[in-house]
Amino acid sequence: MTTTAPIDYLVRPTGALCGDIRVPGDKSISHRSLMLAAIAEGRTRIRNLLRGEDVLATMAALRSMGVRIDDRDPQPSKGERGRDDIDEIVVHGIGDRSLSPPRSGVLDLGNSGTSMRLLAGLLCARIDRPCSLTGDPSLSRRPMRRITDPLSSMGAKIEPSPSGTPPIRLEPIAGDPFQARLRAIDFSGDVVSAQVKSAILLAGLRARGTTCYTEPGPSRDHTERMLAAFGAPPSQEGLRTCIEGGIGLRGTVIDVPGDLSSAAFFLAAAAGRPGSDIIVRGVGINPTRSGVLSILEGMGARIERHDIRGSGGEPVADLRVRGTRLQGIDIDPASVPLAIDEFPAIFVAAAAARGCTRVRGAKELRIKESDRIAAVADALFALRIEVEVFDDGMAITGGEIAGGSVDSASDHRIAMAFATAGIGEGSLRIRDCRHVATSFPGFVALAGEVGLDIEVQGGDA
């Protein structure tokens, strides 16, 4: 898992950002591709899988339960593979057979909320012995009743700790694991969460009858798109999604698009620096995920979408951003779930924009890998940027970010957002950046390619 040795970033001022880059594969889609491939009949080939620690945690958990996953080492060795070469892993799906958790009974999912919540739904009617889903200190603070309550009502034997947090204890449900069946439910969620929706849909594959989930607003629909690619398309009517129990998945080929959440750091940084010109190729622009683009555009960003195409049921484009001075805006609360992971980058862009940027209706930010409202506000305060904090959001008055020292709150996205900030003078130290590897291996090197100057200090190396 993540190295325990402290890593700081030291960021020095640079000028305009320029380059033509690709970012690693999408984290959400990578998790789903492994999980669905594991329970499909036959082989699935996955290209461009993200090898971040969160996805590796999902991969390790599946392997520890008996799923064979062949992974060619993607590291380019001289003269053999260029960075445009496609790398591929092959998952040998177990079909309808049960998954056997390791004898230790522990599946350690590190920092990864997606692994924990989606696997809970996937496993609750597929395991043949008990297990506990555990995580690191950050994951161990995150709320799990939002999934354990609906899964329990389906008949799953699932229990979080008394405080509603991990570890999650799972036991096999009664009966032959081949036939173990949950009760179908018709559930309406009260938070916009793709993880809750996905956990219920994945459990619904093992229910008798049709399981439906109605969300209070649109959340990312990667699970639905990927279920269709595996031959089990859910039906959809507005915000209500239904899945038939008992449909078997068939192995397929998945091309994972570049992760818009990773691209967002460079897009936001370039958008606000006059003279910048960056192209990020092959990025997923699924409309349930691309709120960051419209929010930045609302702030005046110049973003072009080129060569829009499909990849594994997901829309993909090459994104070009040319820098300008951004303008603060009131962000529409309806767009918050569509950009939920990009707020650290948006907040840092707002700190350099003209005027005030305000977001409300974003309480979910408080229960991500860190309390992202508190963590960003503390960091901006330390950098003498004017911030007003609300229970469900923040108002930031743009200024000039001078050097100083901020804490990432052990949160990969806070670390990367500040690492890509435009700094007027001095240097910016970002403490505790070791979690960047959970979602963006190679971040510092790629940042260097577009002209950022980030020195890594500490760590195991």
Stretch that binds ligand S3P, among 88-96, 132-140, 187-195, 276-284 (CB under 6 A): 187-195
Size of the site for ligand S3P (CB under 6 A): 10
Q: Which range of residues in 190-198, 347-355, 387-395, 402-410 is near ligand S3P by CB under 6 A?
A: 190-198
Residue from 195, 290, 357, 408 touching ligand S3P (CB under 6 A): that is: 195
Pattern 121-140, ligand S3P, x by CB under 6 A: --------------------
**Residue 209 or 361 having the CB closest to ligand S3P:** 361
Residue 313 has φ and ψ, to the nearest 5°, of 80, 5
212-271 residues near ligand S3P, rule: CB under 6 A: 220
- Comparing CB distances to ligand S3P, the nearer of 33 and 397 is 33
Residue 194 binding ligand S3P, by CB under 6 A: yes
Q: Which is nearer to ligand S3P, 28 or 138 (CB)?
A: 28
> For residue 296, what are the contacts with CB-CB under 8 A and spacing of at least 6?
267, 268, 271, 303, 326, 346, 349
* 341 included as an active-site residue: yes
Q: State in angstroms the smallest separation of the CB of 28 from ligand S3P.
A: 3
Site string for ligand S3P, 22-51 (x = CB under 6 A): ------x-----------------------
Q: Closest approach of Cβ 127 to ligand S3P, in Å?
A: 21
Exactly one of 64, 115, 138, 193 binds ligand S3P (CB under 6 A); that residue is 193
Nearer to ligand S3P, 114 or 397 (CB): 114
Over the chain, what HEC string results? CCCCCCEEEEEECCCCCEEEEECCECHHHHHHHHHHHHHCEEEEEEECCCCCHHHHHHHHHHHHCCCEEEECCCCCCCCCCCCCCCCEEEEEEECCCCECCCCCCEEECCCCHHHHHHHHHHHCCCECCCEEEECCCCHHHCCCHHHHHHHHHCCCEEECCCCCCCCEEEECCCCCCCCCCEECCEEECCCCCHHHHHHHHHHHCCEECEEEEECCCCCCCHHHHHHHHCCCCCEEECCEEEEECCCCCECCEEECCECHHHHHHHHHHHHCCCCCEEEEEEEECCCCCCHHHHHHHHCCCEEEEEEEEEECCEEEEEEEEECCCCECCEECHHHCHHHHHHHHHHHHHHHCCECEEEECCCHHHHHCCCCHHHHHHHHHHHCCCEEEEECCEEEEECCCCCCEEEECCCCHHHHHHHHCCCCCCCCEEEECCHHHHHCCCCHHHHHHHCCCEEEEEECCC
The span of 13-21, 188-196, 351-359, 372-380 binding ligand S3P (CB under 6 A) equals 188-196
Minimum distance of ligand S3P from residue 84's CB (angstroms)? 26
- Give least dist CB 374 to ligand S3P, A: 17
Question: Which residue among 259, 341, 407, 432 is the active-site one?
Answer: 341
When the beta carbons of 94 and 340 are compared against ligand S3P, the nearer one is 340
Smaller CB separation from ligand S3P, 28 or 370? 28
Interactions with ligand S3P, residue window 360-379 (CB under 6 A): 364
Nearer to ligand S3P, 291 or 422 (CB): 291
Q: Name the residue nearer to ligand S3P (CB basis): 138 or 198.
A: 198
Q: Which of 335, 254, 319, 321 is nearest to 284 (CA)?
A: 319
Region of 120-128, 193-201, 292-300, 393-401 interacting with ligand S3P (CB under 6 A): 193-201
**Cis, peptide link before residue 130, omega less than 30° from 0:** no
**Minimum CB distance to ligand S3P, residue 453 (Å):** 28
The residues assigned a catalytic role are 341
Residues of this chain that interact with ligand S3P (CB under 6 A) are 28, 114, 193-195, 198, 220, 340-341, 364
